[in-house]
Amino acid sequence: MTAADFVLDPRLKAGSFFICDWDLCRVSLKNDKTFPWLVLVPQRRDIREIFELAEADQMQLTREISRAARALKTVCSADKINIAAYGNMVPQLHIHVFARFQGDPAWPKPVWAVHRDEISYTDSERETEIEKFKNCFGKLES
């Protein structure tokens, strides 16, 4: 199949904003400004676990996770990058890559260990954030 056959799960789409498509993954910004947070979704159909991807896709996924992590480190001066793939509720394989800071609302625990309400970006904040990531991705790819 090609990326053209790919359909992003509507639950993932609803909570995030499109940034760009890489060779394998669709890259989105999660709509929660508490944590700078990217969601990577391999543009392949019917994949739920990383080991269901073809080996070349697994390798590309790793390159793209690393690129996302490096961008978060660079753009946000993050103290730590956290990476997680669950998919217990939304089966389409998706990887959370997000920035953590000493003193953030859940630090040093996993963000899921602390209940909090998500805080949406305003339109202009969202545009600014997306632009920052696009610029950084461009530099990391060159």
Residues in contact with a second copy by CB under 8 A are 48-51, 55, 58-59, 61-63, 65-67, 69-70, 73, 80-89, 100, 107-110, 112-113
Cβ burial of 64 (10 Å; 0-12, 13-18, 19+) is buried
Question: How far apart (Å, rounded) are the C-alpha atoms in residues 83 and 3?
Answer: 24
Look-up: residue for tokens 């999660």?
30
HSE of 42, CA atoms in CB hemisphere, 13 A: 27
In the complex, the smallest distance separating the C-beta of residue 61 from a second copy, rounded to whole angstroms, is: 7
Based on CB atoms, which residue is closest to a second copy, 18 or 107?
107
Residue type, 52: E
Based on CB atoms, which residue is closest to a second copy, 11 or 127?
11
In the complex, the smallest distance separating the C-beta of residue 58 from a second copy, rounded to whole angstroms, is: 5
Token pair for residue 111? 């963000």
Based on CB atoms, which residue is closest to a second copy, 62 or 135?
62
Based on CB atoms, which residue is closest to a second copy, 5 or 115?
115
